[in-house]
A and B are shown apart, each in its own frame.
Chain A
Amino acid sequence: MTPEAGLAAEYADEHALVAAIRALRARGIGPMEAYSPIPSHAIDKALGEPRSPLAIAAGIGAIAGAGGAYALQWLLVAYLYPVDTGGRPPHMPLPFTIITIEMGFLFAALATFVAFLVASRLVTLWHPMFEVPGFESATRDGWWLAVGTVDTTAEDVLRATEPLHVHRFGGWS
């Protein structure tokens, strides 16, 4: 769960951020989300995030695209409008294969892309984190943590992890 409001803290580097996530998780504080300029396995592990299941979307897209393309070719040229060219059968699996394979690739890619946008909650042009002062460093060299609570114990634990600075954001700013 990505917090929409709560406390945001910036850390000097990846190690400090990972240590902070571990400390907060040990106290059962959450929900949490980390923001980083580059992808990081250490952060994913500390947050306990499962592997992204997007490969499944690609598989479904590929099967649907390829199956649909073959069925459509059969429907259009073998069933609805069969043409006799030099005695060749209207249903010819070999030439049908080419468009079938291409559409498998195409729909696998489209399905992956759409699943990526949905799973990452993208095409959200505004987010409460954008209002946090200094948050633009997240795309340069800043390591940020957002915690979905303003509870004083949580804030104390967060401040004990030695962040560079802490801000309230979202509904609590």
Chain B
Amino acid sequence: MTALAQVHDDLFERMRARPGRHWWLAFGACGGATLLLFALIAYTIATGIGVWGTNIPAAWAFAIINFVFWIGIGHAGTFISAILYLLEQGRWRNPISRLTETMTVFAVIQAALFPVLHLGRPWFAYWLFPYPDVMGVWPQPRSALPWDAAAVSTYFTVSVLFWYVGMIPDLAALRDHAASPRARRLYALFAIGWRGDSRSWRHWKVTYLMLASIATPLVISVHSVVSSDFAIGVTPGWHSTLQPPYFVGGAIFSGFAMVLVLAIPVRFLYRLDHVITDHILDNCAKLLLATAWVVDYGYIVEHAGALWRGEPAERSLMLGHHPASVAFWTMIACNVVVPQVFWLRRARRSTLVLFVGSLLVLLGMWLERYVIIVQGLLRDQLPAAWGSYAPTLVDIGILAGTFGFFGLLFLVFLRFVPFVPVSELKEELA
């Protein structure tokens, strides 16, 4: 048997293994959480967003926190699949690129739910797009909301195209070696007639390279646009040119944590230690540490800025008593202290430390968005307008539900789609 056939058979056999007890347990839990999510979305739409804790002054609360969190998760996926591809880091990029691209697509789906629900009348969400209407009023690009609509829909579309184009040769392989005629017909549909002729391969290589080149600036631009929603406002803690690099760094940081949270169980369940190697996890941990310092630098500049700008509201918020002090100090512990453990090689090589550390980073990054968004709104320039905020059970249920929905999509993906890019690994072999 040739080396190509060996890699092919080994990977497809592992990926097409029947799901074990772990998979079904996870599927049940995520399925339940997804049902909860849809029920709570239906309740929110039917009743109005008064069922959330969102109030005045905290008009941007859980919805926007979750939106920024989930959009951020996607960034590491694009970073790995596009930027590392252009930098020719294939040896540690290829085995996890499909997993991370998938993570991006599914995370953006979760993110997109929130601004739409936050509109209050989500059935008018299409008003954000310039369609030929009879009202004569169009989206206003001098305001930040249409920027988000443009940035997020571009990011989602490009991510899906990149993901799908990379997958076509593997879908064709599944079609050609499917066990049942029904599976063959289904995969044939998605493989759109891929034959592996030299003409298609030539165009495929250039298409993949072009999409990687287009996705690369999107890693920077999407979260920069999201951060501009904050930076152009005068709310204390938001109005700063620091926001774009701070948000992008934080996004990649949280995304790498999610990559590790997903890759470690997948490697264990599908016995892929020889594909998703310790070396790959080690590299992810190093990037986690590097981006942690970008975020930590952001914390320093944010607080130093409050000191030297001399704006009283900002100074009292940043340097006085934080209205969300528990969240703030937990965030510092998770995002500043925890990642420092990854200076140690032994920590980077221990899947348990990596997994737990990554979960803590995810918690820390969610809290960071909570601190930024809620605190500034509660303590603006006019003390008479100060307020308080607490999420309701519906808020918490929707947040938990998006984790379930994300997990459910991911589990189904593991079951039916080649989650290791077999053709790219074969190419590396040649």
Task: Give A contacts to B, CB under 8 Å.
Answer: 2, 13-14, 33-40, 43-44, 47, 49, 51-52, 54-55, 58, 69, 72-73, 76-77, 80-81, 83, 85, 88, 92, 95-96, 98-99, 101-103, 105-106, 108-110, 112-113, 115-117, 119-127, 129-130, 136-141
In the complex, what residues of A have CB within 8 A of residue B162's CB?
Answer: 109
Q: Is the CB of B200 within 8 A of A98?
A: no
Q: Is the CB of A125 within 8 A of B165?
A: no
Interface membership of B47, Cβ < 8 A: no
User: Contacts A80-B136, A95-B147 given; 14 further ones with Cβ under 8 A?
Assistant: A35-B197, A37-B426, A49-B198, A49-B199, A54-B203, A72-B130, A105-B221, A106-B150, A106-B157, A115-B203, A122-B168, A125-B192, A140-B8, A140-B176
Q: Is the CB of B142 within 8 A of A95?
A: yes
7 contacts between A and B (CB under 8 A): A35-B196, A76-B139, A77-B141, A105-B154, A113-B211, A115-B203, A127-B193
A51–B157 Cα distance when bound, in Å, is: 27
Q: Separation in Å of the B58 CB from the closest CB of chain A?
A: 25
Interface membership of B404, Cβ < 8 A: no
**B8, B147, B157, B195: the one within 8 Å of A110 (CB):** B157
Instruction: Knowing A52-B206, A81-B137, A140-B4, say if A106 contacts B196 (CB, 8 Å).
Output: no
A47–B198 Cα distance when bound, in Å, is: 9
Top 6 nearest A-B pairs by Cβ distance? A136-B176, A141-B4, A76-B138, A39-B201, A120-B200, A141-B5
For B194, the closest partner residue in chain A by CB is: A122
Interface size, B (range): 35 or more
Interface membership of B158, Cβ < 8 A: yes
Q: Is the CB of B423 within 8 A of A37?
A: yes
In the complex, what residues of B have CB within 8 A of residue A80's CB?
Answer: 136, 138
Task: Give B contacts to A, CB under 8 Å.
Answer: 2, 4-5, 8-9, 130, 136-142, 146-147, 150-151, 153-154, 157-158, 161-162, 165, 168-169, 172-173, 175-177, 188-189, 192-207, 210-211, 214, 217-218, 221, 225, 228, 423, 426-427, 430
Q: Is the CB of A125 within 8 A of B193?
A: yes
Q: Is the CB of B142 within 8 A of A85?
A: yes
A124–B201 Cα distance when bound, in Å, is: 15
Instruction: Knowing A54-B203, A116-B204, say if A139 contacts B176 (CB, 8 Å).
Output: yes
A54–B203 Cα distance when bound, in Å, is: 7
Q: Is the CB of B207 within 8 A of A113?
A: yes
Q: Separation in Å of the B119 CB from the closest CB of chain A?
A: 19
For B147, the closest partner residue in chain A by CB is: A98
Instruction: Knowing A37-B4, A38-B423, A38-B426, say if A116 contacts B193 (CB, 8 Å).
Output: no
A145–B150 Cα distance when bound, in Å, is: 46
Instruction: Knowing A76-B138, A101-B221, A125-B192, say if A44 contacts B4 (CB, 8 Å).
Output: no
In the complex, what residues of A have CB within 8 A of residue B173's CB?
Answer: 37, 139-140
A115–B200 Cα distance when bound, in Å, is: 11
Q: Is the CB of B198 within 8 A of A141?
A: no
**B147, B193, B210: the one within 8 Å of A55 (CB):** B210
A77–B143 Cα distance when bound, in Å, is: 11
